[in-house]
Amino acid sequence: MTAPLGLAALTVLDTPPLQHIELAERHGFDTIGLRLLPAAPGTTAYPLHENPGALDELVHRLADSPVAVFDIEIIRISEGFDTSTYRPLLETGARLGARAVLVGGDDPDRARLTESYARLAEVCAEYGIVASLEFMPWTAVPDARTAVDIVSQADGPARSVLVDALHVDRSSTTVEDLAEIPREWLHYAQMCDGSHPVPKTDAELIRHAREERLVPGTGGIDLRGIWSALPQGLPVSIELPNEPLRRAMGDDAWLDRIISATRKMIAPMQTV
């Protein structure tokens, strides 16, 4: 079973949605991810939920494209989280045909974070979108075991855990932990490689995640081990921001390289 390949928002974050589609079409991606809300204050996002004209134009463009929107970003659950704030985002995602919304957990109160996630999953289900909780070692959801514990206390079809290869490598998560995630909670995974030794501070972990990911097969992450623990055919989002390499090669050569390396990396798992 061949896994659909997606061009993640962060890989070409400076590229507006219409041009993002063009890049995906030109280089053989099946899907794209769009960042509609910033990951941190002042960072790049494309708030289509606040721009009806731009949203209509994008929906029209997608109707004539072989490329589909797979995921939208990013909902961050922190203290004082209110699901109603995110309904416009989810409505927009539904119009775009998105299947998932990326969710980050920032609330240090585990019980409150778990309750907030459960409420969000209920709302996401109304829009046919899964709430993909991503574990990241510097957040309140630092590893796969924590993500599974939180998601297990929600209910309904929108429960979801997002596996990012970089965060598996940088956290205490093991291949065995990945194998124990219920298959129905896995809707896609994010692919990249990363340098070793692993950074020792949160600031460096974040910088590597946002700026210095590596082409699959050129770093120290056990990508084959990770993918062997995931379902065959699971959609893959290539999240690989590395502006120095991208600028040096140019968009076309860079995207050809990362999609080719990803296909080569996951090919043995497709035929197991």
What digits encode the pLDDT tens for the residues 234-266? 999 999 999 999 999 999 999 999 999 999 999
Q: Contact at 8 Å (CB) between 168 and 178? A: yes
CA–CA gap between residue 123 and residue 126 (Å, rounded): 5
CA distance between the termini of the chain: 9
Q: What is the band of 1 on the pLDDT scale with cuts at 50, 70, 90?
A: low
CA–CA gap between residue 110 and residue 117 (Å, rounded): 10
Q: Is the dihedral of CA 19, 21, 27, 29 positive or negative?
A: positive
What's the average model confidence in pLDDT over 131-155? 98
What's the average model confidence in pLDDT over 182-203? 96
Q: Contact at 8 Å (CB) between 1 and 270? A: yes
Sequence spans of domains, the chain? 5-270
Q: What CATH architecture is 5-270?
A: Alpha-Beta Barrel (3.20)
Question: What local confidence, expressed as pLDDT, does residue 2 receive?
Answer: 83
What's the average model confidence in pLDDT over 59-70? 98
Q: Contact at 8 Å (CB) between 75 and 19? A: no
What single letter denotes the amino acid at residue 237? S
Q: How many C-beta atoms surround the C-beta of residue 186 within 10 A?
A: 19
DSSP 223-257: HHHHHHTS-TT--EEE----HHHHHHH-HHHHHHH
Q: What is the band of 100 on the pLDDT scale with cuts at 50, 70, 90?
A: very high
Q: What is the band of 272 on the pLDDT scale with cuts at 50, 70, 90?
A: very low
What digits encode the pLDDT tens for the residues 131-141? 999 999 999 99
